[in-house]
Structure 1
C-alpha cells in the first residue's frame, strides 16, 4: 500500500480512524475522556478543531493544521525538550546541531497524530491487558477545500451515531461536538468559526436536521467514510 502524503500546513482535513479489525477503541465511558485529554495534548498544538464525533469503534474530526510558522515553533520546542531530557544530548556539540531534519519538519503534523494514536493505544492496552495495534494504519484523511465541503463534512461527522444506529437521534449522542457548538460553555473547539460558516445557530440546527432527514449526509460528504 502506498503511504499517504504528509499532512500539509494550514490546511483543512477530515481525519478519521477505526479500531483494527473493527475492534472497539472505547471500552468504557472513561475512555472517551482520556481520548480527548490526549487529543488536547498531542493535536491542539498543531491543529485547530472544528468538529468531532467519537463512536465505539471509530472516530471523526475536522481540523485545520496550523501555519508552518506556528507548527515549526512547536516542533523546535519539542526537539529541545527531548534533548534536555536525554543525558547523551546535553553536551555542546549536540546542542549546536540543527533542530531536526527537513523531512522531520515536513512529517511533523502527521507524526503528532501517530503519536496521539500510539499514546491512546498504549493506555488501552495497559488498562485491558491487550497487546499490539489498536488503530488501522494509516489513518484516513481527506482534504477539505471549500465552504460547501466544510458544511457537508460537519453534518456528516455529527450524524454518524444515528447512521450507525447507536442512537435514534444524533443530537442525543454525548461524544460529539454537535451540542458543544450550541453551548455557551468554554471550549477549545472553534465554535465561533463553525457558526460563522453556517450563519447562526438556527441555520446550523436547521441544516443538520434537513440533511439527516433527507438522508443526504453521504451525498454531501462526497464519500462514505464509515
Structure 2
C-alpha cells in the first residue's frame, strides 16, 4: 500500500493502532508519557488541531506547517520513541503499531469539523465513556485557557466560537445516544 505523502500546508487525520489490535497504552502513565513525547517532538513544524488516545489506538488532526518529509520524520520519531519506551517498560520486542501511521488528507471545511468531533467522541463511541471528562483528548484543552500544543484558536474559529463548538459536540453525542438506544 502506497502511503500518501504529507504536504506542506496540508491538514491530515493521522491514526494508528496496536499490532493485531492490541493495546498501545496499558496505563494512564503510558498515555501521560505519550503526551509528554508529543510536547517534546511536535513543534512549530506541525499544528495540532485535535487528538485522542484510546487504549489500542490514537487519532491526531494536524496541519503540516513545514515540508512534508520533515513532518513525517517528526511523527516517526515520536512514535518510535514511544514504542521503544513501551517495549522496554513491558519487556517486549517487535512492532507496537500496525505498519506506518495512516493519514487522510482533509481539504473540505465541513469534513474537517466532522473529524474534530469524531476524534473527540471516540471515548463515547468505543467505550461509552463521557467524552467531556475524558482526560486524553484535546476536547477540554480547546475550551481551557491553560497552555497547550493544540491550536485552539484555529479550532474555535472553525466552529465559530466556544458555544457552537460545544453545541456541535453535544448534538453529535445525542445522536449517538439515540442510535445506541435503538439497537
| Both proteins in one fold, TM over 0.5 | yes
In structure 2, which of residues 165, 170, 180 is the aligned counterpart of residue 204 of structure 1? 165
Aligned residue in 2 for 1:112: 74
User: Over residues 133-173 of structure 1, what are the superposed CA-to-partner deviations in whole Å (9 max), with x where a residue is unaligned?
Assistant: 10111211111102111110000000000000151x21121
In the alignment, the residues of structure 2 paired with residue 144 and residue 159 of structure 1 have an alpha-carbon distance, to the nearest angstrom, of: 19
* Long gaps (5+) in structure 2: 178-183
Aligned to 1:83: none
2:56 alignment partner in structure 1: 57
For residues 100 and 72 of structure 2, what CA distance do their matches in structure 1 show? Answer: 10
Residue aligning to 1:155: 117
* Match in the other structure for 2:181: none
| Residues 3 and 138, structure 1, Cα contact 8 Å, conserved in 2 | no
CA deviation map 1:200-224 (0-9, x unaligned): 11101111111121239xxxxxxxx
1:153-197 per-position Cα deviation (integer Å, ceiling 9, x unaligned): 000000000000151x21121111111111111222101111111
Q: Residue 175 of structure 2: which of 214, 221, 224 is its match? A: 214
TM-score, length basis structure 1: 0.74
Tell me which structure has the larger Cα radius of gyration. 1
Consecutive unaligned residues in structure 1, runs of 5 or more:
69-105, 217-226
Q: What residue number does 2:31 align with?
A: 32
CA contact (8 A) 1:15 1:61 kept: yes
Residue 42 (structure 1) shift:
2.2
* Secondary structure in 2 matching 1:16: strand
How many residues are treated as equivalent by the alignment?
Answer: 177
Measured after TM superposition, the shift of residue 41 of structure 1 is 2.2
CA contact (8 A) 2:51 2:137 kept: yes
Q: In structure 2, what is the equivalent of residue 41 of structure 1?
A: 40
Give the counterpart of 1:139 among 74, 78, 101.
Answer: 101
Q: Which residue matches 1:186?
A: 147
Mark the CA change 1:44 to 1:162 in structure 2 (over 3 Å): closer, same or farther: same
- TM-superposed CA distance for 1:46, in Å, is 2.3
TM-score w.r.t. the length of structure 2 is: 0.91
CA distance in 2 between counterparts of 1:151 and 1:41 reads: 27
Task: Report the alpha carbon displacement of residue 109 of structure 1 after superposing the two structures with TM.
Answer: 2.1
Question: Structure 1 residues 126, 166: closer, same or farther in 2, change over 3 A?
Answer: farther
